Amino acid sequence: MLITEMLSRNAQMYPNEVSLIERDPERNRRREITWLEFENQSNRLANALQALGISKGDKVALLMMNCLEWLPIYFGILKTGALVAPLNFRFTAEEIKKCVEMSESKILIYGPEFQEKIEQIRKEGTSIQEFIYVGENCPDQVQDYSKLIANYPANALDVEICDTDEAALYFTSGTTGMPKPILLTHSNLTSACITEREHHLQTHEDNFVCIPPLYHTGAKMHWFGSLLVGAKAVILRGVKPKWILEAVSEEKATIVWLLVPWALDILDAIESGEVDLNDYQLEQWRLMHIGAQPVPPSLILNWKKYFPHQLYDTNYGLSESTGPGCVHLGIENIHKVGAIGRPGFNWDAKIVDDKGNVVPQGEVGELIVKGPGVMKGYYKNPEATSKTLKDGWLYTGDMARQDEDGFIYLVDRKKDVVISGGENIFPVEVEDFLQTHPDIKDVAVIGMPHRRLGEIPVAIVELKSGRKITDKEILAYCKALPRYKRPRKIFFDKVPRNPTGKIEKPKLRQKYNNVSIILGYMNAQAGISEAK
């Protein structure tokens, strides 16, 4: 069954039940639609797009913040047989332009937050044939979404779509260069629904709070489990701890997927007294799960102090695997917290060396996965595809190891490994250790160029609110680590993370590049005093 067919089925079975709720605490606004309204909006857009010349195989780009219209628009595009190309809302105007050109999108649907960037693109000239604006105060010379779909019927289009047809282009984060479009099929999308449902056991009575950006595979593919069973979901605009807890309490939510920074913020707010859990109805909140980046075990141990009866899970995935679930911890395996888990439902995984040979148990190698969510390839990029897909296996670029029970532990990204004096240092291990310190909220470890050792590990530390600690105290705390793994320098700063929670280490390496030049001179003159 296609995901568009799942939507139509829900509209038939639960026409008057709420499907989506949008909460916008900053504007004190709450909106909702039923499953039938969801289906009708999607059908109206599909008819409108067809009238504008969109047909099967075309591409339509989508650039919007999370809102009530996002998913109906996504499904409306799919119903035409066209490919939907969701764009990162952090893209610059130049990146937006390049992405729509790479994807060969004919239409761009966008929200009011991007009006300035879109105007810049239009002035420079673009291949986009039609712009559709979603919001109030529609500018001149673009289509007004609300008025547009009001002119078209809610009947379904007669377009034949099969599992193997191409469905979507998702762009990589672009942290190592221009984003690459990832080509996913309808079968890929359907597999994400099934995997998510198997892992988190959603029922029609569940209510999922969706906070991460919908342009990313993670948030949407977790919601796909709710789609499969016709369960409602809350789209929460805003990540303040109070707003998250209010959404869970007032909407009777049962499942929340958090990113590491938001979980840390909630714990910080509880410990500082900013929020009082007694003010909220949280008994029905049965599952908190985290993905998108390595999860410090100390975070979960601390979380369970405040939410002892709550189930916990983590999922590993990437856009090339149609989001989360190719590796899965499992709610029954909290005793293995720190691991990303074992191969997910219908998935296989191996850890291999540079030649593709499986490494001995316990040794570090590259994680590769095979399953129904593996992308078709990078769009019109056979060279990049051949480097990532080999004999049906997806090479993730993540370094990992496996324990005696078959549980996989992420060690780090290949590109983030610090090689100091010939020793491989995996930043995640050092970050996990530092986050056990009671005063540290978040931390990132990067390699800094060094004249003699090649690189040295340094730590960027973000302290909890109101806490004070010196770099010398942190360096002393690190003496519990093997000598070669200890950070040689501590910088106090906010740890930058992208919308999906991953630490933006390229930004940190760039930011501290000038510092490394100064340190290199100092180290050459006096040695590395912090290492002593």
Tell me whether residue 449 is in a domain: yes
In CATH, what number is assigned to the domain containing residue 445?
A: 3.30.300.30
Task: Report whether 500 contacts 259 (CB < 8 A).
Answer: yes
Banded pLDDT at 106 (limits 50, 70, 90): very high
Q: Residue 343: what pLDDT?
A: 97
pLDDT digits (tens, 9 = 90+) for 153-168: 999 999 999 999 999 9
Question: Exposure of 191 by Cβ count < 10 A (0-12 exposed, 13-18 middle, 19+ buried)?
Answer: buried
CATH number of the CATH domain containing 114: 3.40.50.980
pLDDT score of 266: 95
Q: Can you give the pLDDT at residue 483?
A: 81
- Distance, C-alpha 485 to centroid of its chain: 29
Cβ atoms of residues 161 and 2 within 8 Å: yes
Domain range for 455: 417-531
Mean pLDDT score, 100-107: 95
Q: Is residue 286 part of a domain?
A: no
Give the list of residues 6+ apart from residue 144 with CB closer than 8 angstroms, or none. Answer: 132, 133, 138
Least confident of 92-106, 122-136, 205-219, 423-437: 423-437
pLDDT of residue 524: 45
Tell whether 437 is covered by a domain: yes
pLDDT at position 143 over 90: yes
More confident residue, 397 or 175: 397
| Predicted confidence (pLDDT) per residue in 25-57, tens digit | 999 999 999 999 999 999 999 999 999 999 999
Mean per-residue pLDDT for 502-507? 79
pLDDT at 174: 52
Q: Please report, to the nearest 10 degrees, the dihedral formed by the alpha carbons of residues 509, 515, 518, 520 taken in order.
A: -30
Q: With contact defined as beta carbons under 8 Å apart, do 338 and 157 qualify?
A: no
The residue ranking higher by pLDDT, 203 or 452, is 203
Tell me how far apart the alpha carbons of residues 17 and 37 are, in angstroms, rounded to a whole number: 10
Tokens of 44: 């109206």
Q: What tokens were used for 487?
A: 């950070």
Query: Where is the domain boundary, 138, 161, 184?
Result: 161
| Boundary-marking domain end, from 99, 127, 161 | 161
Per-residue pLDDT reduced to its tens digit, 163-191 = 999 999 999 865 445 778 999 999 999 99
DSSP letter string over 186-223? HHHHHHHHHHHHHHH---TT-EEEE-S-TTSHHHHHHH
517 occurs within a structural domain: yes
Res. 495: pLDDT tops 50: yes
pLDDT in tens, 333-375: 989 988 999 999 999 999 999 899 999 999 989 999 999 999 9
pLDDT at 292 over 70: no
Q: How confident is the model over 6-34, as a mean pLDDT?
A: 98
In a domain, 293, yes or no: no
Q: What is the mean pLDDT of the chain?
A: 90
Structural domain ending residue among the three candidates 113, 131, 161: 161
Q: pLDDT digits over 190-216, tens only? A: 999 999 999 999 999 999 999 999 998
Q: In one letter, which amino acid is 504? A: E
pLDDT of residue 302: 93
The answer to whether position 470 is within a domain reads yes
Average pLDDT over residues 311-335: 93
* Residue 189, C-beta contacts closer than 8 angstroms, at least 6 positions apart: 2, 3, 167, 168, 224, 322
Give the pLDDT score at 414.
Answer: 64
Number of domains in the chain: 2
Q: Which segments of 128-276 does DSSP mark as H helices, in order? A: 145-150, 186-200, 217-229, 241-250, 260-272
Task: Locate 405 and state its tokens.
Answer: 């029970």
